Structure 1
Amino acid sequence: MADNRYFRASKIERNLMENEKFDEYSPSSSTSSPYTTWTQMEVPLQNVVYCDFTNEFLGASNGYFQGDFMQRFEGTPSNSMSPESQHNMSSSSTSTHLAIQAGSNGSNRSSPDQIDMKPEITLMAFNQLPKNVCPTICVVCGDTAAGYHYDVPSCNGCKTFFRRTVLDQRKFTCKKGGKCFEILPKEKRCSCRACRFARCVQVGMNPMAIQTDKDLKGNEMFKTIVNKRKISKEIVEEIEEPPANAQLLMELRLKENAFDRMVDSLMYLEIKVDKLRSSTYNPRPFEIGSLRDVLSKHSALSLAERLDPMPNWPLPPIPAHNPAEFCSPCQNPVRKAWMKSPNRKMWLFFDLLVTVEYAKTFDFYYQLDTQDQFTLVRYVSLMCMQATQSFYSYIINADTIVHPDGTKPQDMWKWRKLHEGHDKTHNECFAAREGLFEENVKQLKLNRICREEYVLLKAITLCNSAIGDLSEHGSKIIEQARVKYAEALFSLEMANYGPATGPLRFQSILASIEVLIRNAKKHRNVHLIAMLNKPHREGKPPRPAIALIDDIMDA
């Protein structure tokens, strides 16, 4: 590497790339001009020199690095700065000494006093240079270095001076205002001990590396230097990772962690839902009361851990019937016994009840007033129930709704078509209902939805802020919750499918909500027709309505 190369450091680039372009200057062809012209060249990363880079020194030297403060690795193989060696460098020093990328052209250069142009070059800390290469320049005084002393390249004189000053707690005063290293030539700089010691501290000499039998706990000078090093380390860390980027990365990590916790919470909640559906919990529909009654009580999902699974599931098939022998299940003792089995649940009522209990576990629900709670749950419960029934049918590879006890809604109503009092309209109603139970399952199969996607989809379905009867305050709260779960779903899809497919997957999953809304509307119409065509029981009062079902179906 040629001598007399001088560069001006006008910015710091922390990501060094091999063969990156740097400015190199060459003397002007005119000998009368003290200035130089500039050309651009390719400089390999291996050709490196270093010098001190601190705010104080830059201000004192007008931004130029003097040649006697440069370190050259003369005679070192060009691969001495391979990427592997850079990873093994010492990082104990917190000083901001930097290495300067230099060219390899051996032509003579003008002195720094003649340089007016200010090229941009790449710098890196000298503490990142390999320590198996002996330095040749002391970064304190500029004399020949004897090695690394107290974490910095230095001569024996500066090493001894720093050690004695710290141990003896000597204090010096500069008569030139602390500018001796700025205005004095190299030979006279060390004559000012105050500036020399300040320089030792400035370049990063580490007092904790001093080996001594003395107790340094009471050494005030030692404490002062250590505190300065801590502050310097914080500054360097800020330079190495810009605050804006660090803040952004921290926010992203926090968001990802929040999304993970959110999904874990929903997965745990879904375990409770699944257990309660399969448990012995089987309340009588007429004893539960209305939707407002259920909302006024604590969530029953806590019962899931305390109850046993329902025995004797799956249930045996519905008994076959002969249309010529009966017109109603009440007239057939076998079918009547099956209908009143204690192991059988009325799934429309029960799954609506479980869905209401599910909604009551969300934090945002308790930020709503009583009327908004009622309005929200009344409208979305049927859609969330369909999502639950469809998912647990989909994971057992069924093509239609299959309840945990093995029964299907279609089978429950086949015999009703043959009832003597049912007209054509009533039978068409149940035909439409049979198709209703297949569409949601088909949509989930189409997307091949996973459990994490399902729990987020159901939470987003629950957070419907577009309901007209909601208050403005309630709508805002629900919308905030919806956005939160939608962001979590989007993050999940991006993590699983990447930027190319993730957004499309996200849209496809959200499209399932439209299917749920459409089928919920169809389900309400089917229920209305069924109630209008309810068979008359001669000599008996009409059956009481199930208030919970009616409240939700009337939304």
Structure 2
Amino acid sequence: MNPSTLSSKKTGQVSKSKLRRRKQLKPYKELPQNQTPSKCRVCGNPAIGYHYGAPSCNGCKIFFRRVIVTGRKIVCPKDNNCFYGIEVLELLFFSPDMSKRICRACRLKKCLEVGMNALAIEAEAISDEGKALRNELMRGKETIAVVSSLIVTEEDLLDRTIRQLKLIESKIEPLHRAGVPPGYRDVRHLEEILDAPVTLNISDIPNLKLCSHPCTLGNSTYRKPVNYEHSSFLAAIESSKMFDFSSKIDLDSKVALMKHTTVICSNMMNAYFSMNEMKSDVLLYPDGSHIKPSIGDVKLLQKTLFSFLNNKVDNIEYLLLKAIMMCNPVVHGINLEDQKTIEIERNRIMKSLLSYSLFQHGTLHGPSRVAEILALAPIIENQSKHQKDFHVYLNAKHFQEHLNQGQLVRKCISYSYDGILES
């Protein structure tokens, strides 16, 4: 065959494979990455590049090539359990040299699992066993592809988690930005909202009512403008319904969880929106107006925003941290069985945060970045607690002022809003 024809065919195959890979890019890989593979996917030692389709060190590259070329039969003396317990060591930020802890059979199996392609080895087999192994791999190429597709790697888990969180955020974003129309209030209690199907539009809220009496004090008449606080709370509540754990826990546990986490997640959405969308270092409403807190100290409402700015939190870190804060299994009022369900989801998201940090910052700085992100949790929790305390104080003060003037007209608020802030 003409060499030029072979070359053109090979080029065509390469271009097609490149296009296929581009279509399957992971969300986090769209971000800038200025580093070569730092870790061998087989043994955990420093990688020197991509070999036969996977990041690997020189030792694993040579090992894989030698086994495929010679075709030796190798058997694990531990029933293929050499990797048992090693993943736990990795999660504790200790990277064991797995090439010294596992047998040759398990090492070969790991090579195939992480994506090393035996068909990419160009050397000829030097024995009948090697030729038989090569032919077996050729015949079972499709089977190997199917098996490989069923193996869930850390990268796949991270990809799946990020896609899920991005989808949830895209669905609740319009609700977060909409705001409840001036003078209207949502008469539903938190239990009703959580027990209802997902509602993503203000117009779909059942029994949205216009306040019959505006809030009056003395000669002043005040009707609250667009209520962004309530729509932000609703966005946090509706997002919780789209998490995997939501359908597995009972209503009482959902209510207890959302009374604790709604303000937290709402503050995080407001902070990231102001920082990322509005490019602002102060809190802004979705219409661009400044949030004017009734609290004297403006810094109190902006603690979450300042922590995001100081730590340069990116979109995926924000989504993962918000999900971790949402999946809080130790909230008072959640039964033991539901705590376990929520904890499973939180651990999955925590593992994704670790994987993302390692991919973005490498094995040297990745763990410290995880610590930086998780250190924001107490700051965000503290802001939520102060807001709840001050809300109770304001309600008592407002009630007393009305009582002194012989007025007991309820403000234009929502029952769920009050129920959350008074919890």
Q: TM-score range by the shorter chain?
A: 0.5 to 0.7
Q: 1:469 aligns with which of 302, 311, 333?
A: 333
| Residue of structure 1 equivalent to 2:393 | 529
Distance of 1:277 and 1:53 partners within structure 2 = 60
Answer with 1 or 2: which has the greater Rg. 1
Deviation (angstroms), 1:94? 8.3
Q: State TM-score, norm by structure 1.
A: 0.47
The aligned runs of 1:119-138 (5 Å cut-off) are: none
Distance of 2:374 and 2:256 partners within structure 1 = 23
Structure 1: tracts of 5 or more residues without a match: 1-12, 18-50, 56-85, 98-203, 205-228, 238-242, 308-327, 414-429
- Retained in 2: the 8 A contact 1:273–1:304? no
Distance of 1:16 and 1:499 partners within structure 2 = 24
Deviation per CA, 1:368-401, whole angstroms, max 9, x where unpaired? 0111111111111111111111111122332322
| Residue of structure 1 equivalent to 2:283 | 401
Q: 1:259 to 1:438 in 2, by over 3 A?
A: same
Deviation per CA, 1:383-422, whole angstroms, max 9, x where unpaired? 1111111111122332322110222332x64xxxxxxxxx
- Retained in 2: the 8 A contact 1:285–1:349? no
The aligned runs of 1:333-482 (5 Å cut-off) are: 336=222, 339=223, 344-395=225-276, 396-410=278-292, 413=294, 430-432=295-297, 434-482=298-346
2:287 alignment partner AA: D
1:400 alignment partner AA: V
Residue 349 of structure 2 corresponds to residue 485 of structure 1: yes
1:508 alignment partner AA: E
Deviation per CA, 1:134-154, whole angstroms, max 9, x where unpaired? xxxxxxxxxxxxxxxxxxxxx
SS in 2 for 1:391: helix
Deviation (angstroms), 1:53? 8.1
| Residue of structure 1 equivalent to 2:410 | 543
Distance of 1:95 and 1:304 partners within structure 2 = 71
Deviation (angstroms), 1:329? 8.3
Deviation (angstroms), 1:447? 1.1
Deviation (angstroms), 1:233? 2.6
Percent identical pairs in the alignment equals 19
| Residue of structure 2 equivalent to 1:38 | none
SS in 1 for 2:128: coil
The aligned runs of 1:503-514 (5 Å cut-off) are: 503-514=367-378
SS in 2 for 1:286: strand
Distance of 1:458 and 1:52 partners within structure 2 = 51
Q: State TM-score, norm by structure 2.
A: 0.61
| Residue of structure 2 equivalent to 1:132 | none
SS in 2 for 1:493: helix
1:483 alignment partner AA: N
The aligned runs of 1:126-525 (5 Å cut-off) are: 229=132, 233=136, 254-279=153-178, 282=181, 286-301=185-200, 303=201, 331=219, 336=222, 339=223, 344-395=225-276, 396-410=278-292, 413=294, 430-432=295-297, 434-525=298-389
Distance of 2:204 and 2:378 partners within structure 1 = 36
Runs of 4+ in 1 over 6 A off after TM superposition: 51-55, 249-252, 304-307
Q: 1:497 to 1:231 in 2, by over 3 A?
A: closer
Task: Kindly indicate which of the two structures has a greater share of residues assigned to helix.
Answer: 2
Deviation per CA, 1:456-505, whole angstroms, max 9, x where unpaired? 11100000111122111011011111111111111111101101111111
RMSD of the TM alignment (CA)? 3.8
Q: 1:14 to 1:435 in 2, by over 3 A?
A: closer
- Retained in 2: the 8 A contact 1:352–1:382? yes
Q: Give the number of equivalent residue pairs.
A: 295
